[in-house]
Amino acid sequence: MDKLIYDLKNNNSLDDGDLKCLLETDMYDEELYKAADAVRRANYGDSVYIRGLIEFTNYCKNDCYYCGIRRSNNNVDRYRLSKEEILACCENGYILGYRTFVLQGGEAPYYTDERICDIVSGIHKLYPDCAITLSIGEKNYESYKSFFDAGAKRFLLRHETADDEHYKRLHPESMSLDNRKRCLFDLKDIGYQVGSGFMVGSPYQTTDNLVSDLRFLQELKPDMIGIGPYINHKDTPFAGEKNGTLELTLRLVAILRLMFPYALIPATTALGTISPNGRELGLKCGANVVMPNLSPVETRKKYDLYENKICTGEEAAECRGCLERRVTLAGYNIVTDIGDVKEHA
């Protein structure tokens, strides 16, 4: 095995120069994929965990330059799901075998801490054997703590980019990388299983930025790491920018698996959007989670983070069946247990 991959896998001892080299060449790809798949199989066998994604609102007070549901996009048909509608998604999901529900939404002031806690405890009461994951953006410590106490034990918040300058080029001045990081460390401190991650190929991203992303993740030690290609949206300031590539995203999935053997790494919807079999390829490069959509079909098209997002026309049951076939064909096996992260430092 090439020394670079050996070092990456065995002691994470690659210096920044070597990491850059791995990121910039396709020379090691096949070897990287094979090594990553071996590590995922050693840690997780052929299991692929499924998480039911409920996109409960596309209202957002933020204005991130890359995101289709940003506040300034007036072409978005905004919606909010009620507690009852969210519970109906969970009921449907439970019957389909889901034991994790991921509530994702924009940063919508309507959903006060009280409302979020009420929704979370409502789900927790009805489905005590299920994990509840929140993906609702930046909050203060007390808010995060109240959601945790209400029963949410996992939280997803991508850092998006760990480079301050790059962060400023992707976000308006009202947002900061420092606050993002503060949130992530608060979440860890409270005891959440934390997921972070970044977009691959976002505008202005350099290889050095990606090295910073990997270094930041080494510092954070998240339980879950979600990455996907940046995909353009025409109603944003980045309209016309290039999309991230399948190739670089897969290379990074494999590198992440080698650097974080224990991690839960999804084969993301964005990966499936830039390539018809992107998610299957992600699984073969070390990913071990898929997150099919449980949102009501009427709202799916409206949660339009980027263009041509897949799975917007299918019922939850169709999505579940479709993914099951895809995962099996790729050589893996969907498991319906709660799918906690393995012990790690």
Footprint of ligand FES (CB under 6 A): 292, 311, 314, 318-319, 322-323
Token reading at 110: 């309507």
For position 231 contacting ligand 5AD by CB under 6 A, the verdict is yes
Q: At closest approach, how far in Å is the CB of 320 from ligand FES?
A: 8
Q: Select from ligand 5AD, ligand FES, none the partner in contact with residue 322, using the beta carbon and a kind-dependent cut-off of 5 to 8 Å.
A: ligand FES
Which of 297, 156, 170 has the alpha carbon at shortest distance from 227?
156
Q: Select from ligand 5AD, ligand FES, none the partner in contact with residue 155, using the beta carbon and a kind-dependent cut-off of 5 to 8 Å.
A: none
Of 33 and 306, the one with the shorter C-beta distance to ligand 5AD is 306
Residue 330 CA to residue 326 CA, distance in Å, equals 6
For position 213 contacting ligand 5AD by CB under 6 A, the verdict is no
Residues with Cβ within 8 Å of 168's Cβ and at least 6 positions away in sequence, in order, are none
Residue 233 CA to residue 68 CA, distance in Å, equals 6
Which helix (H) or strand (E) segment is 259 a member of?
helix 246-259
Of 31 and 318, the one with the shorter C-beta distance to ligand FES is 318
Of positions 139, 158, 171, 257, contacts ligand 5AD by CB under 6 A:
158
Of 255-274, which residues contact ligand 5AD (CB under 6 A)? 270
Which of 224, 320, 325, 227 has the alpha carbon at shortest distance from 282?
227
Of 45-84, which residues contact ligand 5AD (CB under 6 A)? 66-67
Residues with Cβ within 8 Å of 239's Cβ and at least 6 positions away in sequence, in order, are 232, 233
Residues with Cβ within 8 Å of 152's Cβ and at least 6 positions away in sequence, in order, are 120, 132, 133, 134, 192
Q: At closest approach, how far in Å is the CB of 236 from ligand 5AD?
A: 7
Of 151 and 244, the one with the shorter C-beta distance to ligand 5AD is 244
Q: At closest approach, how far in Å is the CB of 329 from ligand FES?
A: 12
Q: Select from ligand FES, ligand 5AD, none the partner in contact with residue 228, using the beta carbon and a kind-dependent cut-off of 5 to 8 Å.
A: ligand 5AD
Neighbours of 142 (CB within 10 A): 9
- With CB under 6 A as the rule, give the number of residues binding ligand 5AD: 12
Residue 198 CA to residue 323 CA, distance in Å, equals 23
DSSP letter at 162 equals S
Chain residues in the site for ligand 5AD (CB under 6 A): 66-67, 158, 160, 199, 228, 230-231, 233, 270, 305-306
